[in-house]
A and B are shown apart, each in its own frame.
Chain A
């Protein structure tokens, strides 16, 4: 059985049908990419699956369990992590704390114990500080461990989001344009990073415009256009698909 099963998923905002009747399934352990021209509905699809939006119709199943309409924090409990295309970093916190927040569900979150500084909580927090520093090193941010989030450059913040998502120890991670706005060198680094994450057995769902990266990384690719599924298959299959070529280069190309 597939890890994630999406069938006939749709969402309408008023008259705009942002995602229409999209079906696909993702096996555990693969890198699955979603591509398509701007406005094709890629981020909307992410928002639907990660609980930010509630679908108008259709079904989303994670490990067989229906998760459509569940809130993001309920999905987090089930091991679904994500990053954002437009950065969602907590600028009022340090870089390391941003990563530590990712471990929220793995910690004792009791208010009274926290206020009274229970030793067990403090020692767990110290462990977590080390863990967070290691994760930051894993994504290549070792020199920002002591930095404030609001003092970090854009490219570093993109990776900080990935580190925060990894702190959840997720089964499934959604990366929304992790290379957007990065220079070619940084893009290659993110490419390697995504590969490393997949090698740890985390299923990766990727939205990305950098086609070299997508073709390089993906086991399977879903192509969206105007909210509809245009094609699905391996990189080679998708590249040869006439509909995909038409959508990207214009109908008469």
Chain B
């Protein structure tokens, strides 16, 4: 199984390496970049939802912190973009830890409610602090420069996010198959059993929540730089739901499922654009069919059907 898992990584790397030479124009290049960015976020979220069995309905809020840190700090305070990105991630991590600790001491669906609320609060804050954030209109983001080299072309961005994605897949695979990852999966499987073998359940839940939030924040910063503009929509509730949907459609507790979910749900709205006005209906229908016929998500269901185990 583990050899299989890393074999998948080599396929991902191969696809990432040849993709830019196959894409016909900048429209597809842009799509590929956005797929890769979403895939990294969904990987982090799947560690939380699929592997550790916890839910977050506010991850777009964390993404928003990263995106707006990247927009606001260099624009208004002259910070270096990398420093701003780091600051966004640090604030996100601290906020996630602060919120998660008391919630995880409770049992039940409190986390869903709390993250839902947190995401909405962050979104409202971004919309209202118009002096700093441009309010609902959003604001432009200064270009990312490093050592006199400015990241502007799609090609450069592609390689940046491709490398980030490959490294994230590798790190996720490593994490899952480690003492830390086993503890996460164990507390999902049986909380009381993991406790009696010594897993500090609250600590592990907080750790993975913070990790996935920081992933989202960092990728929020990357999105902001890549697009060159941020709007509050990045941080809204619907974006949070979209991210959770990517996890579920691709497959809970599946690294490659995260990639498939991100790729499909990023491409689907584009592919459905020809339906003109009916695209939301078509989108919803596809999601429902997926859930009816592939309830465990695409990758785990297909893997089981073709008898490859996990």
Contacts and interface: CB of A to CB of B under 8 A. Distances in A.
Interface of A: 50-52, 71-73, 75-77, 81-82, 84, 88-94, 97-98, 100-102, 104-105, 107-111, 114-117, 121, 125, 148, 164-165, 167-168
Nearest to B309: A148
B195 A110 contact: no
Interface in B156-181: 170-172, 174-175, 177-181
Contacts of A117: 170, 174
Contact of A105 (B1, B182, B186, B197): B197
A76 B193 CA distance: 11
Q: Specify the main secondary structure of chain A where it touches its partner.
A: mixed
Contacts of B91: none
22 contacts: A72-B192, A73-B196, A73-B198, A76-B198, A81-B196, A84-B193, A89-B189, A89-B193, A90-B185, A92-B185, A92-B189, A92-B253, A93-B186, A97-B182, A97-B185, A104-B197, A114-B175, A116-B171, A117-B170, A121-B179, A148-B309, A168-B197
Nearest to A72: B195
A142 B119 CA distance: 49
Interface in B38-94: none
A52 B192 contact: yes
Given A104-B194, A125-B179, 5 more contacts: A84-B192, A92-B185, A92-B188, A98-B186, A114-B178
B190 A88 contact: yes
B183 A104 contact: yes
A73 B195 contact: yes
A73 B199 contact: yes
Contacts of B188: 90, 92
B35 interface: no
Contacts of B190: 88-90
A116 B182 contact: no
B180 A114 contact: yes
Interface in B127-144: none
B189 A90 contact: yes
Nearest to B211: A111
B194 A101 contact: yes
B205 to A, nearest CB: 13
Given A92-B188, A116-B174, A117-B174, A107 B179 contact: yes
Contacts of B193: 84, 88-90, 101, 164
- The 7 residue pairs across chains A and B that have the minimum distance between CB atoms: A90-B189, A76-B198, A114-B178, A88-B193, A105-B198, A72-B195, A107-B179
A59 B287 CA distance: 55
A102 B192 contact: no
A96 B211 CA distance: 27
A167 B1 CA distance: 23
A101 B197 contact: yes
Interface string B185-226: 110111011111111110000010001000000000000000
A77 B195 CA distance: 11
Contacts, number: 109
A226 to B, nearest CB: 26
Contact of B201 (A73, A82, A98): A73
B206 to A, nearest CB: 12
B196 A100 contact: no
Q: Which of A75, A98, A121, A168 is packed against the most chain B CB atoms within 10 Å?
A: A98
A38 B174 CA distance: 46
Nearest to A113: B178
Contacts of B196: 50-52, 72-73, 75-76, 81-82
Contact of A93 (B189, B192, B207): B189
B39 to A, nearest CB: 17
Contacts of A50: 196
Contacts of A81: 196-197
Nearest to B193: A88
B178 A125 contact: yes
Contacts of B1: 94
Contact of B195 (A71, A111, A116): A71
Contacts of A92: 185, 188-189, 253
Contacts of B201: 73
Nearest to A167: B197
B89 to A, nearest CB: 15
A117 B167 CA distance: 12
Interface string B281-302: 0000000000000000000000
A104 B199 contact: yes
Nearest to B189: A90
Nearest to A75: B196
Contacts of B197: 76, 81, 101-102, 104-105, 164-165, 167-168
A109 B183 contact: yes
